[in-house]
Amino acid sequence: MRDSWRHFAAEFIGTFGLVFIGGGAIITSPMLSQQSALIGIAFAHGLILAIMVTATMRISGHLNPAVTAGFLVTKRITPMFAVIYWIAQFTGAIVAAYALSALYPSSITTLTRLGGQSISSDINMIQAIGLEAVATFFLVFAVFGTAVDPRGPKVGGFAIGLTVTAGILGIGPLTGGSMNPARSFGPAVVTHIFEGQTAYWIGPLLGGIVAALLYDTLFLPREPEPPDHGAIDEQGDHGVAVV
């Protein structure tokens, strides 16, 4: 039970940080030019994710239901812990959105939907799902390539954070660049504006699962693992660094 609470707390804190800092960057973006705002939003999300993943990866480090789904389908986390991670991620996102509502001026939180994303009228729902799926594919592929693969470069969460920055720069003007169902769902719950949630759930989960299965099948070594990369069980760590 203590181990479950430890994982829950790490996922809650990390996801709270992502939604609070990322949402805060969106809330304050009207004060900047459109181009400066996009860059600021992208780097705010990337930096806070890099820091939070690095800080929590010894325990968990997912901070994204799509990442957890990838670990679940590749049997790198048990179903019980996957559910714990998902509850922590969505709870952290919702609490962060309430914190943004309480701490930022209501005039700009209403205008910016508490940092929630929206889909551009220039694309349809299928295109939005596809964009989110592709961007999340790159994100989860980076997670497996740097944090899961025992031969991958050990650069903490910074490659993962940079992938989010790149994703927002690439698709942000069209979908908001969620790549994370919890990130989008938290502000939606508080504002009661659920526009685009179909894309923010289906796209990331689909892209994350495909990336995890592809990397696990094609790139991970199949020879006996070193002693510190043993199989996951419910008594051990369930972070992104364990294979």
- The rounded distance, in Å, linking the Cα atoms of 181 and 189 is 12
Torsion angle in degrees (nearest 10) through CA of 240, 223, 142, 59: 10
Which pLDDT value is given to residue 32? Answer: 73
Terminal alpha carbon distance of the chain:
22
Which pLDDT value is given to residue 73? Answer: 97
What tens digit of pLDDT does each residue of 151-204 get?
A: 999 898 999 999 999 999 999 999 999 999 999 999 999 999 999 999 999 999
Is residue 211 within 8 Å of 160, Cβ to Cβ?
Answer: no
Cα distances from 127 to residues 124, 131, 174, in angstroms, run 5, 6, 9
Which pLDDT value is given to residue 109? Answer: 92
What tens digit of pLDDT does each residue of 29-43 get?
A: 887 777 789 999 999
Please tell me which of 101-110, 216-225, 230-239 the model is most confident about, judged by mean pLDDT. Answer: 101-110
In this model, does residue 234 exceed pLDDT 90? no
Domain boundaries, the chain: 2-229
What tens digit of pLDDT does each residue of 60-78 get?
A: 999 999 999 999 999 999 9
In this model, does residue 217 exceed pLDDT 50? yes
Instruction: For the domain made up of 2-229, give the CATH fold.
Output: Glycerol uptake facilitator protein (1.20.1080)
The whole-chain average pLDDT of the chain stands at: 91
Cα distances from 137 to residues 67, 95, 145, 191, in angstroms, run 10, 27, 12, 28
- The rounded distance, in Å, linking the Cα atoms of 155 and 10 is 19
CA atoms within 13 A on the CB side of 148: 30
In this model, does residue 242 exceed pLDDT 50? no
